[in-house]
Amino acid sequence: MSDRNEPVVDLQLDRAHSSRIYDYFLGGKTNFLADRMAAGSVLSVFPSALVAARINREFMHRATRFLAGSGMRQFLDIGTGIPTPPNLHDIAQGIAPEARVVYTDNDPIVLAHAAALLLSTHEGRTAYVQADVNDPAGILAAPQLLDTLDLRKPVALSLNALMHFVTDDGRRRAHAIVDTLKAALPSGSTLAMSHATPDFDPEAMHKIIDIYRGAGTTLQFRSRAEFLRFFDGWELLEPGVALPHQWRPDHPGDATHVTDAEAACYAAIARKP
Ligand SMILES: C[S@@+](CC[C@H](N)C(=O)[O-])C[C@H]1O[C@@H](n2cnc3c(N)ncnc32)[C@H](O)[C@@H]1O
């Protein structure tokens, strides 16, 4: 404990963290030498990492605009990342000021910057839960979540660029985790998700897995069929599974400026019947 009786958080600045590597790719300032070195290694085998990160983030922007525009008023965003404006609540509350947003991440540095995520509109509400997606029941039972969201009403769940950090080993199973989250939400809820894939450039993606493993983070990229399975039982919304920049692009030209191998990621939204 510190002098002020606050818990001491170890930000582990000597080791690369996925949130800070992603922040670097997005042009943010919340990254340190270890993160930038890992990011440099990724760029040497996958030079389009900056583009891939940007189109992933822009998928979140468009998905949130679409969902808030279709009437969703409650959002649960797991694997939120270091705040990077516009954040999900900026977009959702820009359309529906009464929107309620719960953010979750397991990286202490996201917690350290969570104040930026808690700047809600007066009419709406935002909350932050420091938690690991490997404990979905814990997230669903978190007091901050239950104070903010009414789980009897539809919730827009987002798991953007998150589940490839969950490897399928003995006890943990990415699909079982997502199934637990889906089961807790009522009809009309949605799942927006993006996920890196080895389908287009397996060699580069294998090298990325090795780089992250060297930095202490395990990754599992998944095929289109494995990605599709996350949505089992829910209705995919048009256009179905797409590359992030091809999911309802704002302008037709936006869908063609990045190749499949440069994007290396799938995105989709589905609704619970
Ligand atoms: C690549 S960033 C994506 C951020 C944001 N969702 C987006 O798409 O712009 C992945 C985030 O997931 C978080 N993360 C990784 N593993 C996690 C876990 N097991 N539980 C919760 N968050 C996790 C990381 O800390 C990081 O902030």
- Residue (of 248, 273, 245) closest to 260 by Cα position: 245
The amino acid that residue 39 corresponds to is A
Alpha-carbon span 65 to 58, nearest angstrom: 11
User: Would 5 be classed as within a structural domain?
Assistant: no
Task: State how many domains the chain has.
Answer: 1
- Mean per-residue pLDDT for 177-182? 98
Please state the φ and ψ torsions of residue 140, each to the nearest 5 degrees: -65, -25
Q: What percent of the chain has pLDDT over 90?
A: 87
Would you tell me how many other CB atoms lie within 10 Å of the CB of residue 93? 26
What value does the mean pLDDT take over residues 219-231?
97
Pairing mode, if any, of strands 190-196 and 265-271? antiparallel
Amino acid at position 85, single letter: P
Classify 17 as helix, strand or coil: coil
Residue-number span of the structural domain to which 55 is assigned = 18-271
Q: How far is CA 23 from CA 32, 52, 141, in A?
A: 10, 12, 29
Cis check for the bond before 239: say yes or no (omega within 30 of 0): yes
87 CB near ligand 1 (under 6 Å)? no
Q: Is residue 189 part of a domain?
A: yes
Ligand 1 centroid distance, CA of 19 (Å) = 6
Domain of residue 222, CATH code: 3.40.50.150
Residue 254 CA from chain centroid, whole number: 21
Establish if 13 belongs to a structural domain. Answer: no
241 CA from centroid of ligand 1 (Å): 21
Q: In the predicted model, is pLDDT for residue 132 greater than 80?
A: yes
Closest CA to 155 of 86, 225, 83, 99: 99
- The helix-helix angle for 18-25 and 49-69 (nearest 10°) equals 90
User: Within a domain: residue 68?
Assistant: yes
Alpha carbons 228 and 182: distance in angstroms, whole number: 14
Residue 86 maps to a domain: yes
Collapsed DSSP state (helix, strand, coil) of residue 157: strand
Pocket test for ligand 1, best of 101, 107, 178 (most atoms within 8 A of CB): 107
Q: Is residue 187 part of a domain?
A: yes
Nearest C-alpha neighbor of 124 from the set 143, 149, 161: 149
Q: Which atom from ligand 1 is nearest to the alpha carbon of 82?
A: 27
Identify whether 136 is part of a domain: yes
Pick the atom of ligand 1 nearest to 26's CA: 9
Rounded CA-CA distance 175/154 in Å is 21
Is residue 43 situated within a structural domain? yes
| pLDDT tens per residue, range 181-223 | 999 999 999 999 999 999 999 999 999 999 999 988 999 999 9
pLDDT category of residue 7 using cuts at 50, 70 and 90: low
Task: Please report the pLDDT score of residue 210 as a whole number.
Answer: 96
pLDDT in tens, 73-130: 999 999 999 999 999 999 999 999 999 999 999 999 999 888 888 899 999 999 999 9
